[in-house]
Structure 1
């Protein structure tokens, strides 16, 4: 579908095209051949193995220049799918080992690439800094410091990613408080592998305004009603959920019912090459599964833009790109 799209849930390393990672590994004489299938795509067995493959792929990204090239490669793919505004998760764990000086260097390279992509591809990028949940709350505090020290026009949000079954959201409350005090807006992965209670915990203990995934709210209709009433935005990633086996197919994915119940849902790809998806494919499969027309997708894009962690001027500029009569 050729409509302009807004993506709120994209992991930068997880969006790395496999050919890009293979090429970088060859340049550095690093053997990561075991993470690829015969057709050249990423190969993994289940979610925990996916995390291991993800971290192996990320291991070839060893400096700011690698991240500059990665950012351009990812944004080129996104722009080709019609994405005009994207938010990406960045982890100082991968970008300099949570050292503030190294993080600044990586961030500068990513931001330079984003500016180049905006000039040449017409896509705008903003960053959400995320600790890795299964690395623990102490490392998250170091990540929060990196986020707070670089908050501004480009780094606009703070979240929590990684293995949702490890620890509780309240373990990370200190980090979220620091990010909030720095003016960053907040989201958190929940309701993907954890059930409805994981969403409640994130809302109560971290006071986030968006939930990454959040689709398992459908298992508790009182929570669904609460999400709708409070205007909590869900960063839904249907193709990801289906590829990882959370739902058996597109028609069985709860995004359709959540939308019908007036929850603010958005559409994203999460880690697109891992899940053999793109934003264009997500739109096409959702249209096929739920008979959604152009009007529904325009509503979803507008919902995403309203929820975007960007400044008012950027929001107003992107809003013009979503207008039906935009050339």
Structure 2
């Protein structure tokens, strides 16, 4: 079995950001919405930088307006993930895009997404769990509404809470109420930090919000004391190398700090972030990392073990996924 063919676990996937461009174009055609501005001539998403990426991302969401849209989207995402060997995935879901933060609407969207996830598990053998996310640049008050939605639907399927969005807006600590609300509901916590924010943003995420995982977190490599703290605290990083390269954090895979972080003892995992935007898949991430660092099957098996242990799922699900890793 080659590295690319290994079964894989993905912990950092934005639901709307995983929408295949062809799917969004088809939906726009059905709804007679002109989204030509967000696509290149070859049909792929068109953006210049991270700020523009966020605006294109939100523009694509203009046609995702009903539970049925999200049901279809979920099936499309999971079919693609499964085709790349993913056997377990956690997806970031925002009530802001699923009902505008209204609890009753959120529950309708969630029912449709879960139904699609169940169908995909039967068809493709992939298990999905949801991590509710607030959007940082929408502000702390809107984050409270997202946290309320998360708390009210916490359980076997909604297992975590986190935050995405523009790191340049506000501070991690501004969102403490939302994270405490989610924690009290029994949800596990993660947040984006250390991508465009420097190492201090990672330290703030860990200390101010009490997260056990950090989305990206790669700028921690710039602060040796922080690296030691991540090791001591057992924090897991949801690393998305291809995304980091496309957005200009690092010039190529060989320059990416994932190997240095791993060698220092930090728990690292591999994900795609927003795969069609960044022209990547989990298969490609494995191939590129193997080529850059000489990692072999046993290295990726260890990464998957780290991801499985860090997954926000119940123990019954964890055991089931472990068997898939062992028998695939």
Query: Normalised by the size of structure 1, how large is the TM-score?
Result: 0.99
Task: Give the structure 2 partner of residue 314 of structure 1.
Answer: 317
Match of 1:66 among 62, 65, 69: 69
Given candidates 224, 228, 243, the residue that maps to 1:225 is 228
Q: How far apart are the structure 1 equivalents of 2:218 and 2:197? A: 10
Deviation track 1:34-72 (CA, whole Å, cap 9, x = no partner) reads: 100111100000000000000000111000000000000
Superimposed CA distance per residue, residues 159-187 of structure 1 (whole angstroms, 9 cap, x where no aligned partner): 00000111001100000000000000000
Q: Which runs of 5+ in 2 are unaligned?
A: none
- Residue 228 of structure 1 deviates from its aligned partner by 1.4
The answer on 1:213 being equivalent to 2:219 is no
Q: Which residue of 2 aligns with 1:235?
A: 238
State the Cα deviation string for residues 214-240 of structure 1 (Å, max 9, x = none).
Answer: 000000011111111221100000000
Structure 2 residue aligned with 1:50: 53
Are positions 1:16 and 2:19 aligned together?
yes
One of 135, 139, 147 as aligned partner of 2:138: 135
Count of residue correspondences: 325
Question: Is residue 2:108 matched to residue 1:111?
Answer: no
Residue segments in structure 1 that go unaligned for 5+ positions in a row? none
Moved over 3 A (4+): none
Residue of structure 2 equivalent to 1:256: 259
1:292 aligned partner? 295
The C-alpha deviation readout for 1:5-50, integer Å capped at 9, x for no partner, is: 0000000000000000000000000000010011110000000000
Cα distance between partner residues in 2 of 1:58 and 1:242:
24
Question: Is 1:268 aligned to residue 266 of structure 2?
Answer: no
Deviation sequence 1:134-157 (CA, Å, 0-9, x none): 000000001100000000111000
- Aligned residue for 1:98, secondary structure, equals coil
Aligned to 2:181: 178
Which residue of structure 2 aligns with residue 152 of structure 1? 155
Say whether 1:90 aligns with 2:93: yes
1:40 aligned partner: 43
RMSD of equivalent CA atoms: 0.5
Distance 2:158 2:323 in 1: 23
Shift in Å at residue 100 of structure 1? 0.5
Pairing 1:195–2:198 present: yes
- Note the alpha carbon deviations across 1:270-309, whole angstroms, 9 max, x for none: 0000000000000000000000000000000010000000
- Secondary structure at the aligned position of 1:318 is classed as helix
